[in-house]
Structure 1
Amino acid sequence: MNNMNRRLALKTLLGGFGSVALNSNLYSQFATPSKLNPSFSGGPKRVVFFLQNQGFEPKTCIPVGMQNSGSLANATLPEPIQALQPYREKIHIINGLHGRHASPAHSAFFGALGGYRGSDGVPPSASTVDYELSKTLPQTLLPHLCIGMDSLDNMKAKPTLATLSASGAGQPIFMYSDPMQLYKLLYGGLSTGEVRTQHEAQSHMLRKIEQFAVDKSTGLPLHDQELYSQFTGGFEQMNALRKRLDGASGDLAKYAPKLDQRYSNPEFETDWHDVLLDLGISALKSGITNTLTIGSGRGEIFGSWKGLGVEKQGHNLGHMPQHENPIWIKIRQYNSRMLVKLIEELESVPEGSGTMMDNTLIVYTSNNADKQHTNGATWPFILIGDCNGAFKMGQFTQLDGKRPINALYTSILNAAGRDIERFNMSEKMAKKYDSSTGPLKEVMA
């Protein structure tokens, strides 16, 4: 095969599975674990990020009648997050962080978890906090799992999409939106019938593609050799991960969700949303991963919730006020029920002297601050889980808008054992956008 034909073969492969293997870290984000504070003990063993698109209006999360920081012991949570009322002692509602430097506008995209300027179609400029945590927390088969929820048409047309998480500059991490695809990756080795046959056929094909890429790399110019090495390395990681998951499938069988018609024949997009959540929970409970990122709306301005009786969808949802809006109440209540399910499922699994939830932090927010068209001046968060006393819980905290979302991410990384003063913010940037340094004293216990 001459050089021109090799390049054509390379381009063809990159248009299919190769683009995933080369550009995404879709199947594996293994990296050298970050150095921990040697005196550190405790903190989270796993972290879940849940981001809803179109913004998070503060009035939909601030307790009724509360204007200043205080205890949630006797507070009444607003209707959109009322499902969390029984868990007041486990949550910390934070208002007053900012993300002005992230330029969220319609969405901050990678900047929402990276704490830097983000925009549509702009690659990440650095890693995001979820990926950094996946390096810091105890290593697992799949250190970082991302799932994305959208309209059925969008999820079927783009079963993988990268808009929120990144392992470094120009290195996006793709999220899964096709639950059958994710099920086959996690549990294909224990499935039976047609699902098992498809899983084995795909694994065989991927190994063949990897070998083909290796065989055709000889004799290429230096630039193409470098591209090929990334390409073949991506397939090597992908195939190695599938092999490890297949080998562990027998031990993981009790955590695998049962396949039903929602996987292959969903009536509404929320059918896929629900089973994607089930798969994310199963990956946490089984120990396949300890860092889960959920993107409702997949970090963009789209999204659909017809299964909730919401006929409007996409960009138009962002032009509605969220406070006391029946449509947004339904969407936020749906999110809250998902959060409750996460809590209940993790509380059902013993771990150490308590449960998995005792060692888990859930972070709920939006990928574009308080609303769709925003300057990022206020960016609400809900934290769930004190992680054995690492975080203050049972509180509402109203900040003054002078500290950025990066300060919260610094706090979480410190709780996980990373002794850092800032996350993704230079001293020059901090002089303009951060009034202090280090973790948020209002959050850390």
Structure 2
Amino acid sequence: MAAGTGAALGASMLPDRLLASPTASGPAKRVIFFMQNQGFDPQTCIPAGMTTSGSLAKATLPEPISALEPFKDRLHIINGLHGLHTSPSHSAFFGALGGYRGSDGVPPSASTIDYELSKALPQTLLPHLCIGMDSIENMKGKPTIATLSASGAGQPIFMHSNPNHLYQMLYGGISTGAIRQQHEARSGVMNQIERLAAAKGQSLPLSDQQRYGQFVQGFKDVNGLRDRLDTVADHLQKFAPKVDERYTKPEFETDWHDVLLDLGISALTSGITNTLTIGSGRGEIFGAWKGLGIDQQGHNLGHMDQPDNPIWIKIRQYNSRMLVRIMETLESVPEGSGTMMDNTVIVYTSNNADKQHTNGGNWPVMLLGNLDGAFKSGCFTQLDGKRPINALYTSLLRAAGQNVDRFNMDDKMAKKFDVANGPLKEVLS
């Protein structure tokens, strides 16, 4: 966990870069990825009768995403990208955001787009935050897990699934009572581990010292993050969510899903981070939504057709309500001449294309927001299946100010899986 946190923090831990704020080059920008497992069937998001690109103004959104109807002018539905080269099957795992071959238990072969964007955007105290939602048993048994995000080859970034642990990390220094006591106890342990780890590493063979040093640095970064959060304690007081029984006595896993989302939103609105990755199902083939009245869970959900399925309608509607919560909160916070939402884009898709057992031939995506006018919105775009998800990620990097023509795709790979070079002209303004 410490190693993963260190990879996410990188070299951005500078006192003058604590919080996201406008810069000389323009307003602060932020990107949010929402990855739902088990696939994203295009029929659950494309309005009936729409087969070609066009405006959404007179269209009615399908029932699964009906909560987004008031936000149609900020919505861009994209159909026809592919991820054939990721071999997704049950999940592409790191390949979903990396645009490369991924598989269960296989380490990342390169960094993922969310991490690269966290470097491209103005640096913050915690550039990249990942949260993962699953069954309550899985979240308790594995409070951190790495399946979707990476800072480089063989360098996974862990997502947080226990909201009590994440709250302590972000807001333990401004809390009182039991939370403060737990925070201080955990801090003391982490400091001691850092000292012991540094001392013990000196006796390792030279060939192992560098790799071991990454773990030691991870503990240093975790401890440094805590110290820097303490320096902005007065500011954080305004944004820390209220702790209630959903944290300590969740009735259903959706209680933890909801408070994890609250923590993610608070990290954005407080300026702690500008890049948030949400893994609903945590990039794997599991997941549960008993709080929605759904008894089925895990792998079996992926064997159900999604269109017109009452179970998947409930799950997708729940996702849509989460997206609305993010947008409404960011819309309520003034920023520059507008609001935080004006400078944000949310990327909603799945970590395994259109369905659980897929070849990745079609990878539907929804964009919400335009990142300060960088993306077209209020429309549907139908592509021909000849451009990969990497092209969309290239577009995001362009919008973040990076002059790149490809993302994680060399010439040999591009000749086989991409018919063009550069970003998607269909999505950029």
Q: TM-score, normalised by structure 2?
A: 0.95
1:49 to 6, 13, 33: 33
Matched with 2:20 is none
1:59 to 43, 57, 63: 43
Structure 2 counterpart of 1:21, which letter? A
Matched with 2:220 is 236
Cα separation, partners in 2 of 1:243 and 1:169, compared to 1, 3 Å: same
Structure 1 counterpart of 2:9, which letter? Q
Residues 254-269 of structure 1 mapped to structure 2, 5 A cutoff: 254-269=238-253
1:276 to 260, 274, 278: 260
Residues 1-40 of structure 1 mapped to structure 2, 5 A cutoff: 20-22=1-3, 24-25=4-5, 28-31=8-11
1:327-347 Cα deviation digits (max 9, x unpaired): 000000000000000000000
User: Are 2:52 and 1:68 aligned?
Assistant: yes
Matched with 1:362 is 346
Residues 121-270 of structure 1 mapped to structure 2, 5 A cutoff: 121-270=105-254
Matched with 1:418 is 402
- Of residues 225-234 and 395-404 in structure 1, the stretch that sits farther from structure 2 once superposed is 225-234
1:125-165 Cα deviation digits (max 9, x unpaired): 00000000000101111000000000000000000000000
- 2:51, 2:382 within 8 Å by CA — same for their partners in 1? yes
Cα separation, partners in 2 of 1:97 and 1:42, compared to 1, 3 Å: farther
**Whole-Å separation in 2 of the counterparts to 1:44 and 1:130:** 16
Structure 2 counterpart of 1:30, which letter? G
**Whole-Å separation in 1 of the counterparts to 2:73 and 2:26:** 20
SS at match of 1:255: coil
SS at match of 2:254: helix
- How far has the Cα of 1:21 moved from its partner? 2.2
User: Are 2:419 and 1:439 aligned?
Assistant: no
- How far has the Cα of 1:251 moved from its partner? 1.2
- 2:7, 2:151 within 8 Å by CA — same for their partners in 1? no
**Whole-Å separation in 1 of the counterparts to 2:25 and 2:88:** 35
User: Are 2:70 and 1:89 aligned?
Assistant: no
Matched with 2:16 is none
Alignment RMSD: 1.4
**Whole-Å separation in 1 of the counterparts to 2:233 and 2:28:** 26
**Whole-Å separation in 1 of the counterparts to 2:112 and 2:223:** 25
Structure 1 counterpart of 2:402, which letter? R
Structure 1 counterpart of 2:195, which letter? Q
**Whole-Å separation in 1 of the counterparts to 2:212 and 2:409:** 34
- 2:8, 2:115 within 8 Å by CA — same for their partners in 1? no
Q: TM-score, normalised by structure 1?
A: 0.92
Structure 2 counterpart of 1:295, which letter? G
- 2:55, 2:379 within 8 Å by CA — same for their partners in 1? yes
SS at match of 2:85: helix
Matched with 1:5 is none
**Whole-Å separation in 1 of the counterparts to 2:251 and 2:25:** 47
- Of residues 221-230 and 353-362 in structure 1, the stretch that sits farther from structure 2 once superposed is 221-230
- 2:89, 2:359 within 8 Å by CA — same for their partners in 1? yes
Cα separation, partners in 2 of 1:148 and 1:26, compared to 1, 3 Å: farther
**Whole-Å separation in 1 of the counterparts to 2:315 and 2:61:** 16
Matched with 1:403 is 387
**Whole-Å separation in 1 of the counterparts to 2:12 and 2:419:** 32
Structure 2, unaligned runs of 5 or more: 14-23
- 1:101, 1:116 within 8 Å by CA — same for their partners in 2? yes
Matched with 1:98 is 82
Could you list the runs of 4 or more consecutive aligned residues of structure 1 that deviate by over 6 angstroms after TM superposition?
none
**Whole-Å separation in 2 of the counterparts to 1:346 and 1:383:** 15
1:262-286 Cα deviation digits (max 9, x unpaired): 1011000000000000000000000
Structure 1 counterpart of 2:302, which letter? G
- How far has the Cα of 1:226 moved from its partner? 2.4
Matched with 2:19 is none
- How far has the Cα of 1:431 moved from its partner? 0.4
- How far has the Cα of 1:371 moved from its partner? 0.1
Matched with 1:15 is none
Cα separation, partners in 2 of 1:108 and 1:200, compared to 1, 3 Å: same
Cα separation, partners in 2 of 1:179 and 1:26, compared to 1, 3 Å: farther
**Whole-Å separation in 2 of the counterparts to 1:139 and 1:29:** 10
- 2:82, 2:361 within 8 Å by CA — same for their partners in 1? yes
- How far has the Cα of 1:222 moved from its partner? 1.0
- Of residues 221-230 and 241-250 in structure 1, the stretch that sits farther from structure 2 once superposed is 221-230
2:370 to 386, 406, 409: 386
- How far has the Cα of 1:387 moved from its partner? 2.1
State the number of aligned residues.
419
- 1:60, 1:79 within 8 Å by CA — same for their partners in 2? yes
Cα separation, partners in 2 of 1:408 and 1:28, compared to 1, 3 Å: closer
Structure 1 counterpart of 2:265, which letter? I
- How far has the Cα of 1:26 moved from its partner? 5.9
Matched with 2:94 is 110
Matched with 2:323 is 339
- How far has the Cα of 1:42 moved from its partner? 5.2
SS at match of 1:432: helix
Residues 281-292 of structure 1 mapped to structure 2, 5 A cutoff: 281-292=265-276
1:73-123 Cα deviation digits (max 9, x unpaired): 111000000000111110100000000000010000000000000000000
- Of residues 345-354 and 238-247 in structure 1, the stretch that sits farther from structure 2 once superposed is 238-247
Cα separation, partners in 2 of 1:208 and 1:27, compared to 1, 3 Å: farther
**Whole-Å separation in 2 of the counterparts to 1:442 and 1:44:** 24
Matched with 1:294 is 278
- How far has the Cα of 1:214 moved from its partner? 1.9
SS at match of 1:236: helix
Matched with 1:374 is 358
